[in-house]
Amino acid sequence: MTGIPETVSSIKQAAEFTGLSEDTIRYYEKIGLLPYADRKASGHRTYSKHQLNGMVFLTRLKATGMTLEEMKHFRKLYEIGEASLTQRVSILIEHKNRIQNEIDRLQETQKMIDFKIDKYKEVLVNPDTNTKWKSPFAD
Amino acid sequence: MTGIPETVSSIKQAAEFTGLSEDTIRYYEKIGLLPYADRKASGHRTYSKHQLNGMVFLTRLKATGMTLEEMKHFRKLYEIGEASLTQRVSILIEHKNRIQNEIDRLQETQKMIDFKIDKYKEVLVNPDTNTKWKSPFAD
DNA sequence: TCTTGACTTGGAGTGTGCTCCAAGTTGTAT
DNA sequence: ATACAACTTGGAGCACACTCCAAGTCAAGA
């Protein structure tokens, strides 16, 4: 079951793959968000395909508003092992709900913007309408 | 056409209405994002209904990822007057597109999370499956 | 062997957006 | 008159998430 070495990557390749900067990857390791990476004899970091996929998932959580602290917490639960599985499921469900709320708010704002664009376009067609406005963001 | 005084609010009421803190409202004025507010004889700020609505729209733009600098730019365009209307429409359309991209990314992440939740639940039902995982965020 | 470039570390600095504070003034209730 | 809260100003400080730097090590090609 052992013997076939997994493909490993340098920090540069990891950065390219994940979209994070090399500095950011080192920073995440420093603050304990990423585990201490394996090093080559030279001391250079190496990453497995697994770890790269993990880092991509991480960037998705970050991009959807999860803080570094929350992600650290999630990782700590992971380290406990299976005993924390239900907790991890809860966190993911909770985060998914937060994302849904965010989507709802974004869509509401799109409607507000559409409404405002319509009003602006009205004025472009018929400039008299303009007297209604008192504030750059009003109505 | 004059004579009916508009309802005005204190900074505290403005904060309650908009969800911004009093400090934040003063800060926005300080950096030139909000115009210098009218003051009472005492020096206390007053806000019209119009301005309050404008501030709410502002919070929507901020909550959807527009930076304070971009909002300042928008306000400067507003101050130019009608000559900037087309530009302002462009900015709003552009921002609406950014929101749409954000919504798309959020929905993709929801799918990734669902996928992961399913895998976790699988392990809860059948613990042997667990050996597949090497990283807290992998797959 | 020499050069070039990728990598290492610890720590300092940065940008954004607030948030808090001190010291003073004004408004309202008793 | 006397509290006490609400407000004012300018400026300092803070949290988050990087981002950059200096000084040094390591690896591969001409």
Count of structural domains within chain B:
2
Flag whether A90 is in a domain: yes
pLDDT-derived band at B1 (thresholds 50, 70, 90) equals: very low
Nearest Cα to Cα of residue B119 among B135, B132, B105: B132
Q: What percent of chain B has pLDDT over 70?
A: 87
pLDDT tens by residue, B46-89: 999 999 999 999 999 999 999 999 999 999 999 998 999 999 99
pLDDT tens by residue, A2-37: 333 457 789 999 999 999 999 999 999 999 999 999
- Contacting residues 20-49/A vs strand C (CB within 7 A): 22, 26, 30, 37, 39, 43-45
Strand D reaches within 7 A of the A62 CB? yes
Q: Which amino acid, B121?
A: K
Q: How far is B3 from chain A (nearest CA, A)?
A: 17
Give the helix/strand (H/E) hosting A5: none
pLDDT, residue A136, reads 62
The answer to whether residues A15 and A40 belong to one domain is: yes
The answer to whether residues A58 and A91 belong to one domain is: no
Question: What are B43's two structure tokens?
Answer: 């020096």
Domain membership of residue B96 as a residue range: 81-139
**Closest C1' nucleotide to A44's CA:** C7
The answer to whether residues B8 and B59 belong to one domain is: yes
The answer to whether residues A86 and A133 belong to one domain is: yes
Question: Please, which residues have CB within 8 angstroms of residue B27's CB and are 6 or more apart in sequence?
Answer: none
The answer to whether residues A36 and A93 belong to one domain is: no
CATH of the domain at A3: 1.10.1660.10
Q: Cα–Cα distance between B115 and B119 in angstroms, integer?
A: 6
Q: Is B136 exposed, middle or buried (0-12, 13-18, 19+ CB in 10 A)?
A: buried
Strand D reaches within 7 A of the A67 CB? yes
Question: What are A114's two structure tokens?
Answer: 């559409």
Q: What is the mean pLDDT of residues B129-137?
A: 59
Minimum-distance CB partner of B112 among A57, A86, A93 = A57
Q: Helix, strand, or coil here: A127?
A: helix
The answer to whether residues A58 and A106 belong to one domain is: no
Report mean pLDDT in 10-residue bins for chain A, 139 residues: 57 94 96 94 91 94 97 94 94 97 97 95 79 58
Flag whether A47 is in a domain: yes
Flag whether A103 is in a domain: yes
Give the helix/strand (H/E) hosting A101: helix A85-125
The answer to whether residues B7 and B40 belong to one domain is: yes
Flag whether A21 is in a domain: yes
pLDDT-derived band at B43 (thresholds 50, 70, 90) equals: confident
